[in-house]
Amino acid sequence: MNKVCVGASLSQNKPGMKKLIPFWQFALTTAAFFVYSDTVRCASADLELQAQLVWGTNNDKPDDPKLKDVDPKVREKLRGVFKWKNYFEVNRQSFTVTAAGPKKVKMSDLCQIEVQSLGNSSVELKLFGQGKMVVRKTQKIKAGELLVLAGDDKNDTAWFVVLSQVEK
């Protein structure tokens, strides 16, 4: 339909009022398309995410009931990149981020993240340690992909904040 309208609008060098009407239709159609696509984009800006606070170590699992084994998929991915053999989940939070504003998620007493949807599957992830922003990262996060913020911890261990889309 748009093709027809474009063709009609390009023939404006011919005199006559009738030539302007297809251009109006073309303009209105295009405007409606952008308004619609903006609406769709806003709707698609909603992301169901999952954040995991993970502790990596080469030692065996400590006697702490709060620690859980990390999901095997995540564990293998982490093992493929980092030197640690064992990864334990300290906390897991599922949440939805919308275009309305950022979402703050507490991962531990000292650690908090703030996630904001930027649309088009992009997010802005901020990591706060003891109330101060440590790092901010903007990243497109697709289904099945991981965005990992990580750092050294004491006794040759490491912490990881693993952000991913919730698998449906």
Partner 1 sequence: MITHETELKLQAFLDGEITAREAAVLKELLGHDPEARSLFEEMKSTRMLLVGNELDVKLSETREFYWSKIRRQIEVEDRRLSAPVARELMTSWWVRFLVPTALLTALVVLVVVSIRTREGSSPQWAWEEGHEIETPLEETSSFSFRSEAAAMTVVWVDSHHE
Residue numbers of the site for partner 1 (CB under 8 A)? Answer: 9, 12, 15-17, 19-20, 23-24, 27, 30-31, 34-35, 37-38, 41-42, 45, 77, 80-81, 99-101, 116, 118-120, 122, 127, 132-140, 142, 144-152
Q: CB-wise, 58 or 138, nearer to partner 1?
A: 138
Per residue, the 3-state secondary structure of 104-156, as one string, reads EEECCCCEEEEEEEEECCEEEEEEEECCEEEEEEEEECCCCCEEEEEEEECCC
Residue 63 CB, shortest distance to partner 1, in Å, is: 27
Q: What is the pairing mode between strands 103-106 and 86-97?
A: unpaired
Selection from 86, 93, 82 nearest residue 50 by Cα:
93
Residue 91 CB, shortest distance to partner 1, in Å, is: 18
Q: CB-wise, 61 or 72, nearer to partner 1?
A: 72
Q: CB-wise, 61 or 73, nearer to partner 1?
A: 73
Q: Could you give the CA distance from residue 4 to residue 77 in angstroms, rounded to a whole number?
A: 51
Residue 70 CB, shortest distance to partner 1, in Å, is: 13
Contacts of 7 (CB under 8 A, 6+ apart): none
Number of helices (H), then strands (E), belonging to the chain: the values are 3, 9
Residue 99 CB, shortest distance to partner 1, in Å, is: 6
Q: CB-wise, 4 or 21, nearer to partner 1?
A: 21
